[in-house]
C-alpha cells in the first residue's frame, strides 16, 4: 500500500518559516492518519478521506482557506477518479460548501457526474450539504491588498494504491485568487486529476498551463503504453517547459512506484508506505 499527497506550492517570498513548518507537520499528520484509513479501505475511499482533511486545514488553498475571486466570492473545484471503474466525477466553481470533494463523491454514481456553478451548489444543497463559509481572515486580507495569484498558487490532492493494487486520485482547489468569475481550473478535469489501472496522478500549479499540456492525462497514458513512471513524468514536464508552464504532480503506478516532480521546486508534498515517510524540505 502506498500513499502520496500534495498541498500546492510553497512561496518563500510570501510565507514564513513557521508556516513552512506548520505545513510539514500538517502533511505528516494527514498522510499518517490517511494511511491508517487505507489499511481498511479502498484507494477510492482513501483519496476522498485524505483530500477532505486537506480541505479542512486552513493552511491549504482548498475548502477552508480557499482564495477569493475578483468579485469577492469564493468558488471551489474538486474531482475524483477511480482507476478500477475509470469513472470521474467533479464540481466546478461550487460555493459555500465545507468539502467540495464530498460533493464530487456524492456525484460519483450519478449519470451527470460533473456539475458547475449554480448547478453544483444547488445539487449540494439538495443533497444535505449545508451552507458553510470557507473564508478565513488571511484570504480576506490578501484580497483587500490585491495580492496577485502567482504568490499563492496552490491546490491539494491525493493518490492512493491499496492492498488490492487499485489506484485512485482526488484533487481539490480554492482557485488562484482574483480570477475572473467563471474561470475553470484544471482540478476538476482529467488534465489535472486522472487515474486508471496503470497509474493515478494529481496536479497543482497554474491551471491553464496544466490544461494546455494535459499533464495528468499524458503521464497516465504514457505509463499505460509501457513507459516507466520517471520517464513519463520527465517527457511530460519537458513539454510543459516548452510553454514555460508552472505545475507540479504526484503519482503512484500499478507497480507501487511513487513519484513526484515540479517545474518550480517548491511543491508541498508527503508520501508514506507504512514505514518510510517522505516530505518536502
Catalytic machinery residues: 155
C-alpha distances (whole Å) from 102 to each of 49, 108, 134, 163 are: 9, 10, 15, 23
Nearest Cα residue to 219 out of 184, 176, 248: 248
- Give the C-alpha separation, 174 to 185, whole Å: 9
C-alpha distances (whole Å) from 215 to each of 243, 245, 259 are: 13, 10, 14
Burial of 235 (0-12, 13-18, 19+ CB in 10 A): middle
Nearest Cα residue to 151 out of 229, 67, 89, 86: 67
DSSP H helical ranges for 39-144? 43-56, 100-107, 117-126, 137-144
What is the residue whose three cell numbers read 471503474? 85
Query: In the numeric block, which cell numbers belong to residue 181?
Result: 468569475
Q: What is the dihedral of CA 244, 221, 195, 36, to 10 degrees?
A: -80
Amino acid at each position: 500500500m502506498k500513499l502520496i499527497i500534495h498541498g500546492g506550492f510553497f512561496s518563500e517570498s510570501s510565507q514564513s518559516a513557521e508556516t513552512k513548518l506548520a505545513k510539514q507537520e500538517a502533511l505528516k499528520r494527514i498522510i499518517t492518519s490517511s494511511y491508517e484509513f487505507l489499511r481498511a479501505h479502498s484507494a477510492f475511499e482513501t483519496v476522498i478521506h485524505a483530500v477532505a482533511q486537506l480541505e479542512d486545514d486552513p493552511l491549504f488553498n482548498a475548502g477552508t482557506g480557499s482564495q477569493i475571486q475578483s468579485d469577492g466570492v469564493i468558488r471551489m473545484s474538486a474531482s475524483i477518479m477511480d482507476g478500477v471503474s475509470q469513472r470521474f466525477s467533479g464540481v466546478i466553481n461550487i460555493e459555500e460548501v465545507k468539502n467540495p470533494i464530498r460533493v464530487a463523491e456524492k456525484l460519483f454514481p450519478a449519470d451527470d457526474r460533473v456539475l458547475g456553478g449554480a448547478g453544483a451548489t444547488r445539487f449540494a444543497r439538495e443533497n444535505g450539504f449545508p451552507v458553510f463559509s470557507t473564508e478565513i481572515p488571511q484570504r480576506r486580507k490578501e484580497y483587500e491588498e490585491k495580492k496577485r495569484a502567482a504568490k499563492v498558487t496552490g491546490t491539494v490532492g491525493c493518490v492512493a494504491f491499496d492492498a488490492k493494487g487499485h489506484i485512485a486520485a482526488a484533487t481539490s482547489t480554492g482557485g488562484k485568487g482574483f480570477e475572473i468569475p467563471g474561470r475553470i481550473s484544471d482540478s476538476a478535469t482529467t488534465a489535472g486529476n486522472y487515474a486508471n489501472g496503470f497509474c493515478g496522478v494529481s496536479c497543482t500549479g497554474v491551471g491553464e498551463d496544466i490544461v494546455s499540456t494535459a499533464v495528468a492525462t499524458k503521464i497516465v497514458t504514457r505509463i499505460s503504453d509501457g513507459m516507466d513512471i520517471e520517464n513519463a513524468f520527465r517527457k511530460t514536464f519537458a513539454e510543459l517547459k516548452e510553454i514555460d508552464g508552472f505545475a507540479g504532480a504526484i503519482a503512484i503506478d500499478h507497480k507501487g512506484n511513487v513519484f513526484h516532480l515540479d517545474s518550480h521546486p517548491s511543491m508541498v508534498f508527503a508520501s508514506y508506505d507504512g514505514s518510510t515517510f517522505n516530505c518536502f524540505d
